[in-house]
């Protein structure tokens, strides 16, 4: 018998139409991780509380029933105002949601990611376009690496996998899935400067060049986890 999901803190990550008036929604819950639910009437033309709440960035409590992979939503209620996320921060929010849908296994509790996601939405809601992108980039890279850790694909950022030696600031390294950082000489084959990787390991992304390096670095790290299908949300940044 499956444990019932009742009044569980959750966020809607993504919805897709089902029938004429309903949707299937990917929910991110605090204690049960990612859960797919059937929400009857969520697309009805008449404005309802359900229609308003089946949207991203709304902190909610949900209850669902069902034993299979697709459960039925029985109730949803807001537990706070929807986060007003706009501009570049909105694109970043969609990007995080897509990462969670693509990478998180269903039904596995991820409280650390859930709490960080909650906090990052709060940061996004206070973002102003005049703030620039630096703060957003730091939040994204931190979230990406936390997600890589939680799905079991992380590796040492301070030690080379092929030599066992410490990463050198002036050295160049290439992340290889299932192995870690490999020392390379040819800087044209997806290599990254050791100093950027070391700064990232220390949580220091204050330098613009380092942020750009680690943005490229994390794309390489995430690629084998995401597979060949590109992220739709990345198209928003073009």
Task: Identify the pLDDT of residue 237.
Answer: 56
% of the chain exceeding 90 in pLDDT: 74
- How sure is the predictor about 238, in pLDDT bands with cuts at 50, 70 and 90? low
- How sure is the predictor about 236, in pLDDT bands with cuts at 50, 70 and 90? low
Domain ranges of the chain: 5-78, 87-237
The per-residue pLDDT of the chain, averaged, comes to 91
Residue 81 has pLDDT above 80, yes or no: no
Task: Identify the pLDDT of residue 37.
Answer: 95
- How sure is the predictor about 183, in pLDDT bands with cuts at 50, 70 and 90? very high
109-166 pLDDT, tens digit per residue, is 999 999 999 999 999 988 887 778 899 999 999 999 999 999 999 999 999 999 999 9
Q: In whole angstroms, what is the distance from residue 132 CA to residue 4 CA?
A: 44
Residue 47 has pLDDT above 70, yes or no: no
CATH classification code of 87-237: 1.20.1440.120
The 3-state DSSP composition of the chain as helix, strand, coil percent (nearest 5) reads 40, 25, 35
Average pLDDT of span 214-235: 89
Task: Identify the pLDDT of residue 235.
Answer: 67
Average pLDDT of span 95-107: 95
Higher pLDDT, 130 or 196: 196
Report the predicted TM-score, pTM, of the whole model to 2 decimal places: 0.91
Average pLDDT of span 199-227: 95
Domain 5-78 in CATH 2.40.50.140: yes
């Amino acid at each position: 018998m499956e444990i019932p999901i009742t009044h569980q803190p959750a966020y809607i990550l993504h919805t897709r139409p089902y029938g004429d008036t309903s949707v299937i929604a990917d929910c991110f819950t605090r204690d049960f991780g990612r859960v797919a639910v059937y929400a009857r009437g969520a697309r009805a033309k008449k404005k309802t509380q359900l229609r308003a709440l089946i949207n991203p960035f709304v902190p909610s409590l949900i209850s669902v029933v069902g034993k299979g992979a697709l459960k039925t939503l029985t109730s949803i209620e807001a537990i706070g105002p929807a986060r007003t996320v706009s501009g570049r921060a909105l694109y970043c929010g969609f990007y995080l949601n897509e990462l969670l849908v693509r990478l998180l296994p269903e039904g596995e509790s991820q409280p650390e990611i859930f709490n960080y996601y909650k906090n990052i939405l709060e940061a996004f809601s206070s973002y102003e376009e005049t703030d620039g992108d630096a703060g957003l980039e730091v939040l994204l890279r931190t979230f990406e690496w936390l997600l890589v850790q939680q799905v079991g694909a992380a590796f040492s950022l301070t030690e080379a996998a092929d030599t066992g030696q410490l990463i050198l600031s002036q050295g160049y390294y290439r992340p290889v899935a299932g192995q870690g950082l490999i020392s390379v000489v040819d800087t044209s084959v997806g290599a990254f400067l050791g100093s950027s990787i070391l700064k990232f390991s220390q949580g220091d992304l204050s330098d613009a060049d380092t942020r750009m390096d680690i943005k490229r670095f994390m794309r390489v790290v995430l690629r084998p986890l995401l597979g060949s299908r590109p992220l739709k949300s990345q198209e928003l940044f073009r």
